[in-house]
């Protein structure tokens, strides 16, 4: 059987032959580009030029760079997540994820914030450090059974492997993440 393709009229085995007719006519199969457009995106502001960048959630742990100035977007800074984007980021992360459950009114949380940021710099490319405001994201707090803050939860491939409550110095946070 001969089919006409964009390059020439060829037989079934030719390099330019279309896929079988059933697959070629299947309109229910999503186009590969539309699948990429449906993936959740994180809006990350560049600390260097201020441009807002859309980063696919599954690539957040791959050291994304700014589309405008080319500088690293995270550059060792913790990523702030919410109920809406947590599962997309953590589920797609290939690196270990260390989650800091905190609240703005919590004194120990505010005291630990610089140590958490310092640990994020030390672990850049080795682990993804994220912060979740437990007041603004009660569903995540409930799901992880957060009873006190600050609480650090280490996730490996989306599953909890370790937990630590209370404020920690940067060295202890790095040790927990590794």
Q: Which residues are catalytic?
A: 106, 109
- Give exposure, 157-171, as e/b (b: 16+ Cβ within 10 Å): eeeeeeebeebbebe
Length of the chain: 178
Token pair, residue 145, equals: 């059974």
In three-state form (DSSP H/G/I as H, E/B as E, the rest C), the secondary structure along 75-122 is CCCCEEECCCCHHHHHHHCCCCEEEEEECCCCHHHHHHHHHHHHHHHH
Give the dihedral of Cα atoms 137, 140, 141, 144; nearest 10 deg. -170
| Burial classification of residue 27, based on how many CB atoms lie within 10 Å of its CB (0-12 exposed, 13-18 middle, 19 or more buried) | exposed
Rg of the chain over all Cα atoms, to the nearest angstrom? 22
Which stretches of 13-82 are assigned E, i.e. beta strand? Answer: 41-45, 52-56, 79-81
């Amino acid at each position: 059987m001969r089919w006409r393709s964009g390059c020439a009229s060829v037989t079934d085995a030719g390099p330019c032959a279309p896929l079988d007719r059933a697959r070629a006519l299947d309109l229910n199969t999503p186009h590969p580009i539309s699948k990429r457009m449906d993936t959740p995106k994180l809006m990350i502001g560049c600390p260097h030029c201020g441009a807002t960048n859309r980063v696919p959630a599954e690539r957040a742990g791959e050291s994304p760079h700014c589309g405008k100035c080319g500088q690293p977007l995270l550059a060792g800074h913790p990523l702030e997540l919410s109920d809406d984007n947590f599962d997309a980021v953590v589920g797609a992360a290939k690196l270990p994820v260390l989650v800091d459950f905190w609240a703005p009114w919590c004194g120990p949380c505010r005291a630990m914030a610089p140590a958490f940021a310092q640990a994020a710099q030390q672990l850049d490319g080795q682990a993804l450090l994220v912060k979740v405001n437990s007041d603004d994201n009660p569903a995540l707090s409930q799901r992880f059974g957060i009873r006190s803050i600050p609480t650090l939860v280490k996730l490996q491939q989306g599953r909890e492997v370790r937990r630590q409550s209370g404020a920690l110095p940067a060295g202890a946070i790095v040790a927990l993440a590794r």
